[in-house]
Structure 1
Amino acid sequence: MGEQIEFVTADDGCRLWSVRSGTEAPGRHGFVLCHGGPGFWDTLGPIARMVEDHGPVVRWDQRGGGRSEWQEPYTVARFLADLDQVREHHGFNTVTVLGHSWGATVALRYALADEYRPRVRGLVYVAGIGYGRGTWMPEFAAAKKAASAPYAAEMAELEALESRTPEQDRRLWQLSLAGEFPNRASALELAATQVNEVFAENETVHASLRHVADADDVAELEERIRGLEVPTLIVDGMADLRPRHAVDPLAAALPRVTRVRIAGAGHFPWLDAPEVFEDALSGWLIDPVWWSPSSP
């Protein structure tokens, strides 16, 4: 089937954009993909195409971003409820939930929540940032500054404009993302694929959610992670500007985890190394070991 756009109305009336694709399969199981941010929009179409042969796939724009309505509250609990209502709207009794970056946090928290955990058959955690307080932020900030240096002058010119055209906004987004791609020869081209559509940036969403980890009771969260029997795939790009050691405690705590580290890939490993990424994802989905305990 082709892509089918549907709006999901959350229980507080917020309209959430979603798009469905893939093969229909018996059993009412599907995939739900959660984009990064917070405050960004869906860019996970390439991943959806990698798993469409395994069943129906739904991508969505989280509230406050993209084609979804800007309606508060912007809290983790609200985002998890929205994700569950996207699942319910599309008729999935169970889901494999995949998240990228901030979306990986959403996917993990959804699987950990008592009220949603029975719905989750699999978790794919792509380029996430682990759990607990972000002590790695200074390391990331330094790496980001260095990687963005080739684009800094043009970015400064665009940021200094009193107003920008849509094309200038798109260019600024492209430049701001280019440093995330380790191959400088293709960085601008790959960054452009993430901003084919540019929507207004909702700073309130980002400000409300960017420090979620600061409020965590780390010991309690880790205990819940150790009890998460959902088969989990962690995919890291080893050239990600966010240090991958931030994910090590999560990988160590999860009881049924497979971890794939992709050399030469950054924060968007499905774009830097699409064949390697697809092989890892597809292999995990079809391997019978997926349903039994496995080691990282």
Structure 2
Amino acid sequence: MTDEAQLRWMALGDTTRRPAVVMLHGGPGLPDYLGDVAAMVADLAPVYRYDQRGTGRSPWRGRHSLARHVDDLAELLDAWNVSKAVLIGHSYGTNLASRFCLAHSDRVAAMLLMCGPFVGDWRSGDRAERDRRMSAAQQERLHALEELPDRTEEQEVELLTLAWFTDHADPERGWHWAAQGARRRRPVNWTMNGELGREGRADPLDAHLAELRACLPARTEFLGGADDPRPVTALESLALRLDLPLTRIEGAGHEPWLEQPDTVRAHLRRFVQGAMGA
């Protein structure tokens, strides 16, 4: 990067084809985890992914800002010789995609927003649904782990498993996926998470929706899990405000490709084929 940070990126498919697909992982503070999703469409278009600065194999210890992360994506597109990209964001990646579109709409060919962004007062509904999916003992243990000033490796894995298993529609399989993710998506950059979270609350995407609607590419869609603890009604409301289609994946939560892979694969392939054709 121009500030000498180093970002690790990966590509699948024929990188001479255009436009390219760029997948933006969530967090903030997690390394990339969208390899299985990228493989669903890599025969249709080149697919790029990267560890956002400060995560995975992209080391960074400076201050984090939303503007810097937007600039990172623009610099990566330059490095890949991609003038316009099909952006597929997941969770926090949908916020990053939206803010990138606000700054560089001329570089976005199409955009698929999976399980986000969430605007308005969605957190109270999310918290209530997570509490409903957890036992009292699990809630107590999670709060206790969150309060620890320092956590061991096993305590960190336990905390993440408890925090993430409620993301899924099926609690038993959800526990397995959460425990697996808690060991693979490490370490979590809690500093990055806090800094970008505070900036996002100080300058919410909600305040830019009129501007966003005006600059969105013609092919923009939402995809959400019907059983995501984050209320799908919040996505429905946002889709109405932006006049965009929303597809609900039944029987799936915040990572719908895990619980309904065939349905998600079919949707992604239709979307990417349409974007490549356009």
Shorter-chain TM-score above 0.5: yes
* Structure 2: distance between partners of 1:227 and 1:221: 10
Label 1:265 to 1:217 Cα distance change in 2 as closer, same or farther (>3 A). closer
2:133 counterpart of 1:147: yes
Label 1:172 to 1:70 Cα distance change in 2 as closer, same or farther (>3 A). same
Of 225, 228, 245, which aligns to 2:233?
Answer: 245
Would you say how many aligned residue pairs link Structure 1 and Structure 2?
276
Cα deviation, residue 79, structure 1: 0.6
Of 106, 113, 121, which aligns to 1:125?
Answer: 113
Taking the TM superposition and a 5 Å limit, the aligned residue runs for 1:143-292 are 143-149=129-135, 151-152=138-139, 155=142, 166-211=153-198, 212-216=200-204, 218=206, 220-254=208-242, 257-287=244-274, 291=278
CA contact (8 A) 1:126 1:236 kept: yes
How does the TM-score come out when normalised to structure 1? 0.82
CA contact (8 A) 2:30 2:55 kept: yes
Of 22, 39, 49, which aligns to 1:32?
Answer: 22
Label 1:234 to 1:162 Cα distance change in 2 as closer, same or farther (>3 A). closer
Cα deviation, residue 231, structure 1: 1.1
Summarize deviations over 1:165-204 as a string: whole Å, max 9, x none: 5455334322321111111231122223423424333222
Q: Could you say what secondary structure the match of 1:194 adopts? A: helix
Counterpart code for 1:225: R
Counterpart code for 1:16: L
1:23 alignment partner in structure 2 = 14
Counterpart code for 1:124: L
- Provide the alpha-carbon RMSD of the alignment: 2.7
Label 1:204 to 1:279 Cα distance change in 2 as closer, same or farther (>3 A). same
Taking the TM superposition and a 5 Å limit, the aligned residue runs for 1:38-53 are 38-53=28-43
Of 77, 87, 91, which aligns to 1:97?
Answer: 87
RCO (CA 8 Å, sep 6+): is it higher in 1 or 2? 2
* Structure 2: distance between partners of 1:59 and 1:98: 10
* Structure 1: distance between partners of 2:65 and 2:182: 25
Summarize deviations over 1:18-53 as a string: whole Å, max 9, x none: 2222233434x2111111111111111111111111
Label 1:81 to 1:48 Cα distance change in 2 as closer, same or farther (>3 A). same
Cα deviation, residue 97, structure 1: 1.0
CA contact (8 A) 1:50 1:278 kept: yes
Unpaired segments of 5 or more residues in structure 1?
Answer: 1-9, 292-296
* Structure 2: distance between partners of 1:39 and 1:167: 19
CA contact (8 A) 1:34 1:59 kept: yes
How does the TM-score come out when normalised to structure 2? 0.87
CA contact (8 A) 2:111 2:221 kept: yes
Counterpart code for 2:61: Q
Cα deviation, residue 94, structure 1: 1.7
Q: Which moved more, 1:216-225 or 1:270-279?
A: 216-225
Counterpart code for 2:124: P
CA contact (8 A) 2:249 2:256 kept: yes
Counterpart code for 1:22: G
Label 1:73 to 1:187 Cα distance change in 2 as closer, same or farther (>3 A). same
CA contact (8 A) 2:168 2:253 kept: yes
Bigger fraction of residues in strand: 1
Counterpart code for 1:57: V
Unpaired segments of 5 or more residues in structure 2?
Answer: none
* Structure 2: distance between partners of 1:163 and 1:221: 39
Label 1:67 to 1:253 Cα distance change in 2 as closer, same or farther (>3 A). same
* Structure 1: distance between partners of 2:149 and 2:274: 54
* Structure 2: distance between partners of 1:162 and 1:112: 38
